[in-house]
Structure 1
C-alpha cells in the first residue's frame, strides 16, 4: 500500500516536471531571452501581448491538462481517493506554473 502511494507520488512529480519543461520550452515560444544582457531582468525585454500569451496558455493547458483530467475522473470513478486528491494537486500545480510562465513573471514590470 505504501509502495503504491510512493510510486503514485513519483509519477505525478515526473509528470509535473515534464509538463513544466514542455510548457517553458515549446508552448511559451515568444520568449526573448536571447536579448538578455549581463544583469538584465525580464522587464528589459519586449513583452508579448496578452492575446498571444492567452492563446499559447490555452493550447498548453489543453495538451497538458487533458491527460490529468482524464486520470482524475478515472480515479474518482474507481474511488481511489488518495490518487484522486494527488491528481487534483497536480492539476492545480500545472495551472499555477502555467499562470507563472505566461503572466506571473511579468507582474512586477508594470
Structure 2
C-alpha cells in the first residue's frame, strides 16, 4: 500500500467569513484497516474526478479542496455541496472520520 496524506480545506457555506482549520489524515498514523480504507477512497475519488463538478457554484454552498500527497506526487480534488461525485463524497466522509484538525 502506498502511503497517502490527505488535507481537507473547506470554504464558503452558510458562514463564509469564519476561518476553518484544515483536517489532515496520514495513512502512516492509522491502523492497517483504516489506512486501507483511506487508500481505497483516494483511488476511487481520483479515478472519478470530474472537471465539470469542479466548476459548479451555488449560493451558500461549501467548497471542499482535498490535497492528496503520495510518493507519486500530489493531486488536488475540488467539489462543492450539490456537486460531489459519490466517490468524492465518500473520501470526504473518510477524511472527516479519520482526520484531525491541524
Same fold (TM over 0.5): no
For the pair shown, which has the larger CA radius of gyration, 1 or 2?
1
Give the TM-score normalised by the residue count of structure 2. 0.31
Give the TM-score normalised by the residue count of structure 1. 0.30
Higher helix proportion (structure 1 or 2)? 1
Higher strand proportion (structure 1 or 2)? 2
